[in-house]
Amino acid sequence: MAEPHHRQEGDYNYVINYLPLHKAALNDDWEAAQLIFSQDDAAATTKITYYGETLLHIAVGTNTSHRFVHNLINLIASKDVTQLRTTDRVGNNALHFAAKTGNTRAARALVEIDLAITRTADQKGITALQFAAYYARKETLVYLLGVTQNVVGEDGTSPYLGVPGGDLITHTITAGFYDVALYLMKKYPNLAIERNRKGITAIQRLATKPKDFPSGTSEWFWEKFIYLCIPVDSRTDIELNLNSKGMASEPIKRSYRHGRNDLPFFTPPLRLHAFGCCSLHLLIWRFIRYAVPLVNRIGIAKLIHKQTDQLMKDICATVLNTRNYTSVWTVLGPATYKAAVNGIHELIEECLRCYPGLIWYKSEGSYLMFNAIKYRQVKVYNLVYQMTGHVALAASDVTDGENALHQVARIALPYRVNTVTGAALQMQRELQWFKEVEKFVQPAYRDILNKENKTPQRLFTEEHREMVEKGEKWMKDTSSSSMVVAALIFTVAFAAIFTVPGGPKDDGTPLLSKDRTFMLFAASDAIALFASATSVLMFLAILTSRFAEDDFLYALPKRLCIGLVSLFVSIAATMVAFSATLALVLRQELAWIALPVGLIACIPVIFFAMLQFPLLVELVISTYGPSIFHKQNSLVLY
């Protein structure tokens, strides 16, 4: 099995010859490997795969063969420590493989013997630390942060400076490790202006994570209440305690955290110690979070929001402290554009708070407000309410032959249109945008022609013609199907009046007229009749509408809203009338039937609420609720 001294190019038979050794590494079979080593001393360090990987690469990459890795590292180190740095075809050593797979045990074993391996980069200049961040291996990343030194020159390339530093901080943010990113920013402030291989800075990468900011989170009112009440501690300083040899021990979190991802660097004893140090108030919340997954999820979201907020502020403050206009403009400017595209108004506010002149930053030939309009980001556009009047007007000036009203006249991008349910409501939202922007542009711009010789109104009509047609079809289909149900309920409710339960007396009055249950039947049947009649009339009004463009703003949504509410009321009243009738008829023989029948009667109402209530709520809010365009806080941005 001895490896030939000189392998001819294209000859890969050795790969087959070393298959037993390869399988031994995969199966954590150290005894089988020892038998092979007794016949071939070089097998422990020779390359045994097509991609130039050694036995150590394979064993580390499994992240399961821990005994095999430990014994192999000791064997190799006893002969030549530098052999631990042997690389594959692309320059990856065993520590790179440990970082990619999250094999912290192997990483620790390698580093304890050869600290210099942490500074060894592959052919692209990427160290194991950057790999751990790129592949989102948090435990390994935190460990490597404690052992990878900030050195330059002959000792290696620092992973905290230049492009490597930019890669590290942007990968960390992409992975969502904001506590680690905060630690990096605190220890290496220069990372705020470093760029990665694609020229992206940390705050630009942060501007692509809308779901990790409060503005990107959609919550029900009870979730908002829990969000406000639940306590979190956003302190995330990571202490890396170094022993006398300069080796890093386990990273220790200085502060407690809550939830499944809490105290990610704590060993079990440390977790218990931190748990015991918390106040009774926090202990109660910990128990609630452990018992109720929803509360835990909200707590984790709130913690992430606090961390991104702190990270954003740290980066902006660091960039501003450079006192370099070019850095401020070229680092924060592109971030405001990305934030406008993704609707992160918090980041834009912070950037403008640091340097208000960023309101004039142009990207894709457009100012900030143009991009907010183009991408239909309401909370970003609402920042105009925090600017002085002349700035708001100037920001809507003509750009590339079109003003802001032309921009909003163009139909929104599909992924933004689909944030609203139904073509009719989508058309309503587009009209709301057009009317809003129309208030801010200069009067002369409302009828100005663009390069296509079109006014904003004409452009809006042409761009939204297909949406109007889809909205008309959606309205008619919804109204037709709902009207069938409403008409059926009307028929049943009307007939029930003449076939009352218990029958009539000789004089024609109901036999059970003095019974309270009968009065419940009569009232609910009358409500069902009137509500279903109202619903039928509203849906009929929709079907006979002209479906003009402006009708989608208020007239049509109002009719649909009234029709759906009436239909919901009529269904609920019909179920109540049915339950009352059954209770009257069967109460002599089966008195217990009232309760189960009443519960079963709730099922259709619940199903209807589950299927239609979200649409109904959205319809009511968009039609009768407060405008989506408003001042968000009292801060004056410019």
What's the pLDDT tens digit per position in 76-135?
A: 999 999 999 999 999 999 999 999 999 999 999 999 999 999 989 999 989 999 999 999
Most confident region among 199-213, 353-367, 377-391, 508-522 by mean pLDDT: 199-213
pLDDT at position 588 is 63
pLDDT at position 200 is 96
Q: Which residue has the higher pLDDT, 47 or 605?
A: 47
**Total Cβ atoms within 10 A of residue 122:** 17
- Contact at 8 Å (CB) between 79 and 116? no
The two structure tokens encoding residue 546: 């002209």
Sign of the CA dihedral running 79, 82, 84, 90:
negative
C-alpha to C-alpha distance for 162 and 173, rounded to whole angstroms: 17
Interacting residues of 283 by C-beta distance below 8 A, sequence separation 6+: 275
pLDDT at position 289 is 83
The two structure tokens encoding residue 614: 């979200």
The HSE-up count of residue 123 (CA atoms within 13 Å, CB side) is: 5
Which amino acid, residue 28?
D
* DSSP letter (8 states) at residue 255: S
Q: Per-residue pLDDT averaged across 330-334, rounded? A: 95
**Total Cβ atoms within 10 A of residue 621:** 11
pLDDT band at 253 (very low <50, low <70, confident <90, very high): very low
pLDDT tens-digit profile of 197-238? 999 999 999 999 999 999 988 877 788 888 888 888 755 545
Pairing status of strand 252-253 against strand 238-239: antiparallel
pLDDT at 271 over 50: no
Phi, psi of 238 (to 5 degrees): -105, 120
Q: Per-residue pLDDT averaged across 26-47, rounded? A: 92
Give the residue among 240, 264, 267 at the shortest CA–CA distance from 147.
240
Q: What is the largest CA-CA distance in the chain?
A: 117
Which amino acid, residue 319?
V
pLDDT band at 250 (very low <50, low <70, confident <90, very high): very low
Q: What is each CA distance from 263 to 231, 237, 549, in whole angstroms?
A: 15, 11, 55
Q: Which helix (H) or strand (E) holds 578?
A: helix 555-586
Most confident region among 222-236, 379-393, 431-445, 500-514 by mean pLDDT: 431-445
Q: What is each CA distance from 495 to 1, 375, 487, 573, in whole angstroms?
A: 94, 54, 12, 15
pLDDT at 526 over 60: yes
pLDDT at 252 over 80: no
pLDDT at 635 over 60: yes
Q: Look-up: residue for tokens 């008195």?
A: 591
Which amino acid, residue 79?
K
The two structure tokens encoding residue 451: 């390069």
C-alpha to C-alpha distance for 487 and 183, rounded to whole angstroms: 65
pLDDT at position 175 is 96
Q: Per-residue pLDDT averaged across 346-350, rounded? A: 94
What SS3 state is found at 461? helix
Beta-bridge partners for 47: 54
Q: Per-residue pLDDT averaged across 406-419, rounded? A: 91
C-alpha to C-alpha distance for 463 and 402, rounded to whole angstroms: 15
The HSE-up count of residue 332 (CA atoms within 13 Å, CB side) is: 31
pLDDT band at 629 (very low <50, low <70, confident <90, very high): confident
pLDDT band at 561 (very low <50, low <70, confident <90, very high): very high
Question: Domains in the chain, start-ordered, CATH in brackets?
Answer: 12-149 (1.25.40.20), 157-239+278-361 (no CATH), 473-624 (no CATH)
What SS3 state is found at 327? helix
pLDDT at 480 over 90: yes
Q: Per-residue pLDDT averaged across 468-491, rounded? A: 94
* DSSP letter (8 states) at residue 239: E
The two structure tokens encoding residue 205: 């990468």
pLDDT at position 440 is 81
Which amino acid, residue 97?
F
- Contact at 8 Å (CB) between 144 and 129? yes
**Total Cβ atoms within 10 A of residue 200:** 21
Phi, psi of 504 (to 5 degrees): -95, 160
- pTM, full prediction: 0.83
Conformational region of residue 367, where left means phi above 0, alpha means psi within -120 to 50, and beta covers everything else: beta
C-alpha to C-alpha distance for 83 and 45, rounded to whole angstroms: 7
pLDDT at position 101 is 96
